[in-house]
């Protein structure tokens, strides 16, 4: 039985995407968020694997919601919707979360890389939610390269 059939009595709104596509986009976002989160978890950073997965899933969910709202409108509905405005809200919310990860102590700033990772994973989730898998994968690959490869290079340069 299709989801709309048994959820109709709840006022279920059809998203415009098949369940497999919804779950696929969420899975891609979660897995790519886990890739970046694993590196943070491995280095024992405050926001690790679970946080990165949740941020990617949340961002993906918001983009799917925006697409669903647009799909549920009829041509006769007089509304001006811009589904990309959801990006503004997600970026602002992630900025707040990332700001909490940045701490000042021991004569310097700590957590900026973790905050940047959360921001990147939010973008990955949005890209996956809107169906831009190639972009989500490319951003994840470059983020992991920056976190792993440039971490070693920075330590060599600084002599640590």
Residue 78 is predicted with a pLDDT of 59
Residue 11 is predicted with a pLDDT of 56
The closest alpha carbon to 136, from 45, 24, 42, belongs to: 24
Residue 1 is predicted with a pLDDT of 44
Say if residue 6's pLDDT is above 90. no
Residue 108 is predicted with a pLDDT of 72
Residue 104 is predicted with a pLDDT of 64
**pLDDT tens column, 26-75:** 999 999 999 999 988 888 887 889 999 999 999 999 999 888 877 777 66
**pLDDT tens column, 98-155:** 888 787 666 677 888 888 899 999 999 999 999 999 999 999 999 999 988 887 777 7
Containing 109, the helix (H) or strand (E) segment is: strand 108-110
**pLDDT tens column, 14-26:** 667 888 999 999 9
CA angle 84, 147, 87 (to 5 degrees): 10
Q: How far is the C-alpha of 111 from the C-alpha of 126, rounded, in Å?
A: 23
Q: Please state the pTM of the whole predicted model.
A: 0.79
Say if residue 10's pLDDT is above 60. no
Residues 6 or more apart whose CB falls under 8 angstroms from that of 3 comprise 12, 19
- According to DSSP, residue 16 is labeled S
């Amino acid at each position: 039985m299709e989801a709309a059939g048994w959820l109709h009595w709840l006022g279920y709104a059809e998203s415009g995407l098949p369940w497999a596509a919804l779950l696929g986009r969420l899975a891609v976002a979660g897995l790519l968020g886990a890739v970046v989160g694993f590196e943070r978890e491995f280095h024992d950073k405050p926001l690790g694997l679970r946080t990165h997965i949740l941020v990617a899933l949340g961002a993906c969910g918001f983009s799917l919601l925006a697409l669903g709202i647009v799909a549920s409108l009829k041509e006769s509905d007089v509304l001006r919707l811009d589904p990309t405005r959801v990006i503004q809200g997600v970026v602002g919310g992630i900025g707040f979360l990332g700001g909490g990860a940045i701490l000042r102590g021991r004569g310097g700033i700590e957590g900026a890389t973790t905050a940047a990772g959360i921001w990147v994973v939010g973008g990955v989730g949005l890209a996956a939610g809107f169906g831009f898998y190639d972009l989500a994968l490319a951003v994840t690959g470059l983020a992991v390269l920056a976190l792993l490869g440039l971490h070693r290079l920075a330590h060599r340069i600084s002599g640590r």
